[in-house]
Structures are given as C-alpha cells and as structure tokens.
Structure 1
Amino acid sequence: MSPQVTVWFDSSCPLCLREIALMRRLDRRGAIHFVDACDPSGSCPIDRAELLSRFHAEEGGTLLSGAQAFAAMWRAIPLLRPLGLLAGWAPATPIFEAAYRRFLRIRPRLQRLFR
C-alpha cells in the first residue's frame, strides 16, 4: 500500500518523537509517510520555521495544519479512524483546534519535562 498521508514531525521535540513512534507502531498498513521536518535534505512544502511551529500533514494533495493535520493522520490508522472522522466533522473541528492551540501554549514546558 502506498502512503495516503504525509506527516512532517519535529525530531528535536521529545513529545513529537514519542507520538510519532506510537503512530508508526499503529500504522501497520504503511498508510503514512513520516518526514523529519528538521532534516535539511527532507522535503518541506512551506517555510521550515512555519512547518515546525504547528503540526502539518498532507492528505489528498491538501496541506493541513493543527487539528486538521492530526485528524488526517488519525483517519489513516484504522484504530484511530473514528477519532479522525470526529475531528474532521465540521461542528467538532473548532473544539479540536481550540484544544490543539491550548496544547501549543504548554508544549515548551512539556518538552522540557520529557528531555
């Protein structure tokens, strides 16, 4: 199976590394292509600093960020697909995005904790 979703991740972030490791274990079908956004030789569809400031994924040729990118990644994994569908449902999307934005505010403290 060829990847359905491309996910860019921050390999300098201990939280990101843990989450991507889990997603790789769950992605038994190989539906996700994971790209290290910190690798200067890796593909980067937008400015690298912008790519690293929020979570990004590409699904069906569309670049997504934040909660929408997480929803795309989750939809590609059968176990998480229901959560991905819920997060992509228009009435629920603002709730997931608000939660993601709150997470971004505490991310630096969590990164220090997990180093």
Structure 2
Amino acid sequence: MSAVYPLTLLYDASCPVCSLEMDHLRARNDAGRLVFVDISDPAFDPTPYGATLAQMDAEIHALRADGQLMKGVQVLRLAYEAVGLGWVMRPAAWGPLRGPADLAYRSFARHRRTISRVAAPLIDGVRALRAWQMARRMQRCGDGACTMNHDEGRTR
C-alpha cells in the first residue's frame, strides 16, 4: 500500500474553478487513487482532518493514505501524478520555481471566487464541451456495453 494513495482531496465544490478542476481529475481517476470530499457540503465535518474549515477553505488540502495532511501546490502535484499527468505540475517542485508556484497558488486561492465569477462563461463553455464529448462517446456504445478510449476527446 502506498503511503500517499489513495489521496483524499478536500476541495470546495461551490467554487466553479475548483469544481471544474476536480471534475477533470475525477474523469482521469481510472486507477481510483483519488478520493474527492466536498468541504462546502453542509454535512462536512473538518474535525477528523486536523484542520479548520476556514483553513481548508483558504487553500486545497488533502489527506494522504498514511494520515499526513497536506495543503497547497503539493496537493495538486500529487493529484496530477495520481492520474498520470505529473509532468504538468512537476516544474512547480523545482527549486527556483517552487517559491513562485506556491505564491501564485496562494494568490489564486485567495481570489478564486472573483476569478470564478469573471471566468464563468469560459467555465460554462468547458463544461458544455465536456458534456458534448461524453455524449458523443456514449452514442458509439452498442448493445449496452462500451469500451471507450478514455483519452479520446478529452480537453487538456
């Protein structure tokens, strides 16, 4: 058993940008290495995770399989690695880029609701495109069974 996976992502589904990103990761989570927990759910209790709801709302958190709570860019790096896209976030761990990447993420996290409002038309467009692509793939299924190429038609 891995010390990291399954990785439980604690994210705010009420944030459109955050939700869109988690949908992207969820769609690629074929190996089941990620577990998604919505901290905006009224029934969510942060107590077992060792952080307050305010802390979790301020930036993404994740609980590793070994019980270690993580936050920020390192969570995103592990999540992307889990779905085979580690190369996307790998530069954020490199020495000279680590500080600026952490700073950029914290700035995004602080302004994510405003960014979500401004980007709403783009987010809606991406969601519509993904739904259309999924419907197109599903139309190709016959006899109630289907083998879909998971990479076909994915937005990147």
TM-score by length of 1: 0.81
Aligned to 1:61: 67
Aligned to 1:38: 40
1:1-115 alignment, distance < 5 Å: 3-44=5-46, 45=49, 46-59=51-64, 60-78=66-84, 80-113=85-118, 114=120
Q: Tell me by how many angstroms 1:86 deviates.
A: 3.4
Amino acid of the residue matched to residue 75 of structure 1?
Answer: E
Q: Could you tell me whether the CA contact under 8 Å between 1:68 and 1:93 is conserved in 2?
A: no
Listed one character per residue, the Cα deviations across residues 9-64 of structure 1 (whole Å, up to 9, x for unaligned) are 11211111111111101111111000011124335211112111111112343211
Q: Could you tell me whether the CA contact under 8 Å between 2:15 and 2:112 is conserved in 1?
A: no
Aligned to 1:100, the other structure's residue is in SS state helix
* RMSD, aligned CA: 2.4
Between 49-58 and 2-11, report the one with greater CA deviation.
2-11
Give me the whole-angstrom Cα distance separating, in 2, the residues matched to 1:105 and 1:47: 16
Q: Could you tell me whether the CA contact under 8 Å between 1:8 and 1:56 is conserved in 2?
A: yes
Give me the whole-angstrom Cα distance separating, in 1, the residues matched to 2:92 and 2:45: 27
Bigger fraction of residues in strand: 1
Structure index of larger Rg: 2
Count of aligned positions:
114
Percent identical pairs in the alignment equals 31
Gaps of 5+ in 2: 122-156
